[in-house]
Amino acid sequence: MEGMSLPARVERLRRIAFFQNLPFAVVADLAVRLRHERYRQGEVVFVEGSLGDSLYFIESGQVKISTGSGSQERVLNYLGPGNFFGEMAVLLKQRRMATVTVVIDADLWVLRKADLESLLEKYPAVALQITEELSRRLTDTIRQPVKEDIYTPVAVFGDEPWVLAEALKRLTGERVALLDMSGSNLIQHSRYLPVELVIDSISPRATAQEVTEKMSLLAGTHDRVLVWLPPEGFEACVKAAQLCEAIVFIDAPAYGWVNQFAFKPTWHITQTLVEIERVARHLAHRVVGLALSSGGARGLAHVGVLKVLKREGIPIDMVAGTSAGALFGGLFAAGRSIETIEDFALNFHKQLSVWNLLDLAVPPRTGLIRGQRFLKYLRELYQDVVFEQLEIPFYAVAADVLTGEEIVLDKGSVADAVRASTSIVGILMPHRLDNRYLVDGGAVNPLPASVLAERGADIIIASRVIPSMEEEKEYRRASRSSGQMDLISLVSNFQSIMEREIIQHRQSCVDVMITPKVAAYRPTDYRPAAELIRLGEEATERVLSAVRAQLSPRISGVGVKL
């Protein structure tokens, strides 16, 4: 900016919202004092705790204001053109209270502390302008104290990107803009689109600077920006893809020039509403995970849970299951219809005999049942499917009986994973898999919600069929019976006691807990399947409003964030 005439500097500053209403004399004085700096995406302007002696005004681009780092990072705000930052350290003579990172290439104007103090004394209008902006930000912070660190802007390749934009808008309730760089003149035909969106356009042959400015302006007025790119790798398209934080291919190939951005989160999907809405949940950090607990025959209630969630259109993006939860969760993840899963559950007890699944170990060494017939049955049930072929991600939890480790199975044969996860110690022999001896995952993580949280689930629904001690005691008192007791019942009850204790420390990440009232049913009796499925349905219907509340749009405040 050195060498530019004063009128030209004033004209450029006038394009920044903060200076538009200030008198010419004030802006002219500022133009002499301000220093221009340019930052690229990912660069840090300053870090939390550092000494501060400058105030920054944003001409173009976008910055992220955050505290902490890594998994402890808290995003406080996103600021775009016309905003300023760094004022607190300068005005209050404190260290920087947050870290500022550039999200979209930014042109900043820097004002030193001494110049700011002189201007505030000379021009009270500047102090008033700063005070009004700080008041607005305080209101925004009260409304939304911590912003979501979301994927935006997003590059989109393929046809009809407005379907994804509309899905995001419907999911989040936020302001979504679509920037057309495809050269198709979409803005001319926007009135014919089946959705209502803010659409802007720029030529794919524009300059990199023009694209940066256009994207930063949209970032300043919208919560999310989708950029529709053509197959050709023009300079402007490469720059736009560089500035985007994620990439989505909708029935489109991965073009060669895009490979340089392979490190960014990328999705390849078909142009079906189910896949488009699923990727929208990923982009908005609204991924829904379902955790299904262990519990033996009581796990039949999970079928009722699945039945109601499916009927009510509740999306499930990933499933984790332990023991019985793995058995039914695997079928759901494999795309089996609810009718098929229910039919299997209703008739499963017929298979539990020495003539069908129960191949007794003679003499018994590590379990009463060898489990080879059961494994063969599972392979037929799952049709030899492997994890990589499942419709949605699925995780089966088992335990290494030699080391006590929690083992999360998500590769290879689903049937082998379920066989391992259901190997109740003392009853079903451990399953050898990848040089490990694996047993029922209930010994380490009976309600695997943490597995989902670690793998990116943002909303976790859990079905727990392990009654509390109070529920068990209340049922026993009411029935006036200690129940039948044999070796299998003894082992099963002991397992339930252990799982009940573990689960107390494993449910903190659950957003909605479904608790079918199954205490009256023995974990070894699969015959009352219809009753248990009904209890699962009733329990799910009781919490449907809470589930829908988790999925409902969260309208953003007026704060500037993508």
Cβ atoms of residues 405 and 399 within 8 Å: yes
Catalytic residue flag (residue 323): yes
Strand partners, 201: 180
Find all residues with CB under 8 Å of 499, minimum gap 6, and list them: 293, 294, 295, 442, 443, 446, 466
Q: Which of 210, 260, 254 is nearest to 229 (CA)?
A: 254
Strand-strand pairing, 436-440 and 431-433: antiparallel
Question: If 0-12 CB within 10 Å is exposed, 13-18 middle and 19+ buried, where does residue 84 land?
Answer: buried
Concerning whether 50 is annotated as a catalytic residue, the answer is no
Helices (H) and strands (E) in the chain, counts: 19, 22
Determine the Cα–Cα distance for residues 266 and 304; give it in Å rounded to an integer. Answer: 35
**Residue 56 φ then ψ, to 5°:** -115, 130
Asked if 301 and 536 touch (Cβ cutoff 8 Å), the reply is yes
Tokens representing 144 are: 């939304």
Q: What's the CA gap between 407 and 385, in Å, rounded?
A: 20
What percent of the chain is helix, strand and coil (3-state, nearest 5)?
A: 45, 20, 35
Q: Where are the beta strands (DSSP E) in 13-73?
A: 35-39, 44-46, 54-67
User: Comparing C-alpha atoms, which of 276, 341, 335, 247 is closest to residue 303?
Assistant: 341
Q: What is the dihedral of CA 443, 449, 451, 454, to 10 degrees?
A: -140
* 278 Cβ contact list (under 8 Å, min separation 6): 269, 315, 317
Q: Hey, what long-range contacts does 371-375 have (CB within 8 A, 24 or more apart)?
A: 371/419, 371/423, 371/428, 371/429, 371/431, 374/419, 374/428, 375/415, 375/416, 375/419, 375/431
Q: With left for phi above 0 and alpha for psi between -120 and 50, is residue 435 left, alpha or beta?
A: left
Q: Report the distance separating Cα 407 and Cα 435, nearest Å.
A: 12
Catalytic residue from among 323, 450, 492, 556: 323
Catalytic residue among 29, 180, 317, 440: 440
Q: Which residues are catalytic?
A: 323, 440
